[in-house]
Amino acid sequence: MKGKRIGHLLALTAVLALAACGAKVSGTYTGPGMDLEFKSGGKVVQTVMGMEVEMKYEVEDNKVKLITPSGNLVLTLQEDGSIKGPMGIRLEKKK
Protein backbone atom coordinates (compact mmCIF):
# COMPACT_ATOMS: atom_id res chain seq x y z
CA MET A 1 0.00 0.00 0.00
CA LYS A 2 2.80 2.41 0.91
CA GLY A 3 4.62 1.57 -2.32
CA LYS A 4 1.53 2.43 -4.38
CA ARG A 5 1.23 5.81 -2.68
CA ILE A 6 4.86 6.62 -3.38
CA GLY A 7 4.36 5.50 -6.99
CA HIS A 8 1.36 7.80 -7.37
CA LEU A 9 3.28 10.70 -5.85
CA LEU A 10 6.18 10.07 -8.20
CA ALA A 11 3.85 9.97 -11.17
CA LEU A 12 2.20 13.18 -10.04
CA THR A 13 5.49 14.94 -9.86
CA ALA A 14 6.65 13.82 -13.25
CA VAL A 15 3.87 15.57 -15.07
CA LEU A 16 4.91 18.92 -13.67
CA ALA A 17 7.88 19.20 -15.99
CA LEU A 18 6.28 20.52 -19.18
CA ALA A 19 7.20 23.18 -21.65
CA ALA A 20 5.13 25.93 -23.23
CA CYS A 21 2.14 25.32 -25.44
CA GLY A 22 3.26 23.31 -28.45
CA ALA A 23 6.82 23.24 -27.13
CA LYS A 24 8.82 20.21 -26.12
CA VAL A 25 9.82 19.43 -22.56
CA SER A 26 13.45 18.71 -21.76
CA GLY A 27 15.86 18.83 -18.89
CA THR A 28 15.16 18.63 -15.17
CA TYR A 29 12.35 20.30 -13.27
CA THR A 30 12.55 20.51 -9.51
CA GLY A 31 10.11 21.23 -6.71
CA PRO A 32 9.49 20.44 -3.05
CA GLY A 33 10.91 16.94 -2.54
CA MET A 34 10.65 15.93 -6.19
CA ASP A 35 12.52 16.12 -9.50
CA LEU A 36 11.38 15.27 -13.02
CA GLU A 37 14.03 14.62 -15.66
CA PHE A 38 12.60 14.60 -19.19
CA LYS A 39 14.55 12.46 -21.62
CA SER A 40 14.35 11.73 -25.32
CA GLY A 41 11.93 9.13 -26.59
CA GLY A 42 9.03 10.33 -24.44
CA LYS A 43 10.52 9.09 -21.16
CA VAL A 44 10.71 10.89 -17.83
CA VAL A 45 12.42 9.91 -14.58
CA GLN A 46 10.72 11.04 -11.40
CA THR A 47 12.78 11.15 -8.19
CA VAL A 48 11.00 11.39 -4.83
CA MET A 49 12.67 10.67 -1.50
CA GLY A 50 15.62 9.09 -3.32
CA MET A 51 13.42 6.67 -5.27
CA GLU A 52 13.46 6.82 -9.07
CA VAL A 53 10.57 5.81 -11.29
CA GLU A 54 10.78 5.86 -15.09
CA MET A 55 7.59 6.38 -17.08
CA LYS A 56 6.37 7.67 -20.41
CA TYR A 57 4.96 11.15 -20.99
CA GLU A 58 3.11 13.09 -23.66
CA VAL A 59 2.74 16.85 -24.17
CA GLU A 60 -0.39 18.32 -25.71
CA ASP A 61 -0.97 22.07 -25.72
CA ASN A 62 -0.18 23.22 -22.17
CA LYS A 63 -0.80 19.78 -20.61
CA VAL A 64 1.81 17.20 -19.70
CA LYS A 65 0.45 13.69 -19.28
CA LEU A 66 2.45 11.21 -17.23
CA ILE A 67 1.50 7.69 -18.19
CA THR A 68 1.61 5.27 -15.24
CA PRO A 69 0.36 1.74 -14.63
CA SER A 70 -2.20 3.09 -12.14
CA GLY A 71 -3.53 5.80 -14.48
CA ASN A 72 -2.46 9.02 -16.14
CA LEU A 73 -1.48 12.15 -14.27
CA VAL A 74 -2.09 15.45 -16.07
CA LEU A 75 -0.02 18.51 -15.15
CA THR A 76 -0.27 22.07 -16.47
CA LEU A 77 2.55 24.00 -18.09
CA GLN A 78 2.44 27.60 -16.89
CA GLU A 79 3.25 30.68 -18.98
CA ASP A 80 6.46 31.23 -16.99
CA GLY A 81 7.70 27.74 -17.95
CA SER A 82 7.03 26.12 -14.58
CA ILE A 83 4.78 23.09 -14.16
CA LYS A 84 1.77 23.03 -11.87
CA GLY A 85 0.51 19.80 -10.37
CA PRO A 86 -2.07 18.68 -7.84
CA MET A 87 -2.28 20.36 -4.45
CA GLY A 88 -0.45 23.43 -5.75
CA ILE A 89 2.84 21.64 -6.41
CA ARG A 90 5.11 23.81 -8.57
CA LEU A 91 8.16 22.56 -10.44
CA GLU A 92 10.70 24.92 -11.99
CA LYS A 93 13.25 24.13 -14.68
CA LYS A 94 16.73 23.61 -13.27
CA LYS A 95 19.36 25.84 -14.82
Tell me, what's the pLDDT at 90? 95
What stretch of H or E contains 63? strand 63-68
Helices (H), ranges, 17-94: none
Tell me the per-residue pLDDT of 33-65, one tens digit each, with 9 for 90 and over: 889 999 999 999 999 999 999 999 999 999 999
The whole-number average pLDDT for the span 17-26 is 53
Residue 41: strand pairing partners: none
Domain ranges of the chain: 2-93
Tell me the per-residue pLDDT of 66-92, one tens digit each, with 9 for 90 and over: 998 899 999 999 999 999 987 888 999
Report the alpha-carbon distance of residue 81 to residue 93 in Å, rounded. 7
| φ, ψ for residue 69, nearest 5 deg | -60, -30
Tell me, what's the pLDDT at 66? 94
Domain 2-93 is in which class? Answer: mainly beta
